[in-house]
């Protein structure tokens, strides 16, 4: 055997060959998905998705984006406050896009904005919003008129029509436990059936004071609530007729209710993870971003300081708007693995 000093020197021809990722953009999707699992705010998710094309593709293929609908708070769209930014041309070329201020409860000091067609902000009336991803095989486009409800299954070329009863005006509807619940202006609720044929079946409820209670349907986890006169009641459909039970606690949830009467209220789990508080209702307002209430309409004694509204000339300007503030989740959360 030779001593180490006598061994022939090994030579490496050229650069060594490495196998695997050469940079941040080449990280495998599995590893990037594990990073997405650990992100705790919309700002972080947006930053991840806009890092580079490969990271955006990894976010698009993330199989559980809808879980953020319960883990993160919604964004507050303040259509009455113009954010700093230019008016942009719309794709149709006949309108301009208007920059509105957006507030993220998890990052109140982060400047966000969205663009909405100017005619919508100034002239149109908000009648509702939907959250189903268009790529879902069971998505439906529902259009309500004074006399009919039209249904277009996404991917289909033909509409189906459901004739509404006389003087039946759909006030709003929610999706609860896999079915649509429709409420009319008289305080009555109906289960909307889409297959095999369209139909409305009234959810008979025990009247309060001899008449139905008019209110706003709110889905909060496994509870279907009715917001009426500042109080929340749970609609218990396990009985015949259904009964209303006063709700005093939301548990480990926070509820977000928009100033726009027909906007859909949303809830999220464990708000302490992003700096919020459980068992609290965030009511959006125009004078300030939101007020915090406990149930039964009682102001919270530990009222959080509201997000600061920047005065005119410092990035945002109050304007006249026909649409009041409302809570929404970004569309990027509604397409699992797509």
Distances in Å between the Cα of 239 and the Cα atoms of 79, 199, 242, 275, 328 are: 42, 22, 5, 38, 33
Q: Which one is predicted more confidently, 13 or 152?
A: 152
Residues 111 and 257 in one domain: yes
**Minimum mean pLDDT range among 104-118, 165-179, 234-248, 294-308:** 294-308
Is-contact 243 206, C-beta < 8 A?
A: yes
Residue-averaged pLDDT of the chain: 77
Distance CA 268, CA 247 (A): 17
Give the CA-trace dihedral at 184, 188, 189, 191, to 10 degrees. Answer: -90
Residues 58 and 76 in one domain: no
Q: What mean pLDDT do residues 43-64 have?
A: 90
Residues 281 and 331 in one domain: yes
Residues 133 and 213 in one domain: yes
Confirm whether 222 is domain-assigned: no
- The total number of structural domains in the chain stands at 3
Q: Which one is predicted more confidently, 98 or 254?
A: 254
Q: What mean pLDDT do residues 87-94 have?
A: 58
Owning domain of residue 43: 29-63
DSSP H/E element including 233:
strand 231-236
Structural domain ending residue among the three candidates 217, 238, 265: 217
Confirm whether 99 is domain-assigned: yes
pLDDT at 31: 93
Q: What mean pLDDT do residues 33-56 have?
A: 90
Burial label, 33 (beta-carbon count in 10 A; 0-12, 13-18, 19+): middle
pLDDT at 314: 35
Q: Which one is predicted more confidently, 86 or 196?
A: 196
For 56-79, what is each residue's pLDDT tens digit? 999 989 988 888 888 889 999 888
Q: Which one is predicted more confidently, 322 or 255?
A: 255
pLDDT at 5: 45
Q: Which one is predicted more confidently, 155 or 258?
A: 258
CB atoms within 10 A of CB 65: 21
pLDDT band at 323 (very low <50, low <70, confident <90, very high): confident
Confirm whether 254 is domain-assigned: yes
pLDDT at 69: 82
Distance CA 141, CA 159 (A): 9
Q: What mean pLDDT do residues 260-284 have?
A: 87
Highest mean pLDDT, choosing among 43-52, 97-106, 202-211, 280-289: 43-52
Confirm whether 8 is domain-assigned: no
Strand partners, 88: 97
pTM of the model: 0.77
Distance CA 322, CA 332 (A): 26
Distances in Å between the Cα of 42 and the Cα atoms of 71, 98, 108 are: 10, 22, 12
Residues 203 and 142 in one domain: yes
Residues 55 and 71 in one domain: no
Highest mean pLDDT, choosing among 7-16, 60-69, 85-94: 60-69
Residues 41 and 102 in one domain: no
Residues 108 and 142 in one domain: no
Residues 46 and 102 in one domain: no
Q: What mean pLDDT do residues 46-56 have?
A: 91
- Which contacts (CB < 8 Å, 24+ apart) does range 222-230 have? 222/177, 223/247, 224/174, 224/176, 224/177, 224/181, 227/257, 227/265, 229/297, 230/296, 230/297
Q: Which tokens belong to 173? A: 């509807």
Confirm whether 309 is domain-assigned: no
């Amino acid at each position: 055997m030779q001593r180490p000093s006598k061994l022939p020197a090994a030579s490496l021809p050229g650069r060594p060959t490495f196998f695997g990722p050469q940079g941040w953009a080449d990280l495998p999707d599995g590893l990037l998905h594990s990073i997405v699992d650990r992100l705790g705010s919309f700002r972080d998710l947006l930053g991840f998705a806009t890092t580079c094309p490969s990271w955006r593709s990894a976010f698009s293929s993330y199989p559980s984006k809808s879980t953020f609908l319960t883990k993160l708070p919604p964004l507050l769209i303040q259509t009455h406050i113009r954010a700093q930014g230019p008016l942009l041309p719309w794709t149709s070329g006949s309108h301009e896009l208007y920059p509105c201020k957006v507030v993220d409860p998890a990052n109140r000091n982060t400047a966000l904005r969205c663009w909405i067609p100017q005619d919508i902000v100034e002239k149109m009336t908000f009648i509702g919003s939907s959250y189903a991803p268009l790529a879902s095989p069971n998505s439906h486009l529902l259009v309500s008129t004074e006399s009919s409800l039209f249904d277009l299954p996404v991917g289909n070329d033909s509409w189906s029509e459901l004739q509404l009863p006389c003087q039946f005006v759909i006030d709003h509807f929610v999706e609860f436990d896999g079915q649509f619940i429709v409420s009319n202006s008289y305080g009555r609720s109906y289960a909307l059936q889409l297959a095999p044929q369209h139909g409305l079946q009234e959810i008979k409820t025990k009247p309060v004071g001899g008449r139905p209670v008019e209110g706003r349907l709110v889905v909060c986890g496994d509870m279907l609530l009715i917001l009426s006169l500042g109080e929340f009641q749970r609609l218990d459909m396990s009985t015949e007729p259904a009964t209303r039970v006063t709700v005093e606690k939301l548990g480990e949830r926070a509820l977000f209710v928009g100033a726009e009467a027909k906007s859909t209220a949303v809830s999220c789990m464990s708000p302490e993870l992003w700096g919020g508080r459980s068992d609290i209702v965030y009511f959006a307002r125009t004078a300030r971003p939101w007020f915090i209430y406990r149930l039964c309409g009682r102001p919270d004694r530990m009222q959080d300081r509201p997000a600061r509204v920047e005065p005119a000339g410092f990035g945002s300007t109050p304007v006249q708007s026909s649409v009041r503030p409302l809570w929404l989740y970004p569309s990027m959360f509604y397409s699992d693995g797509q």
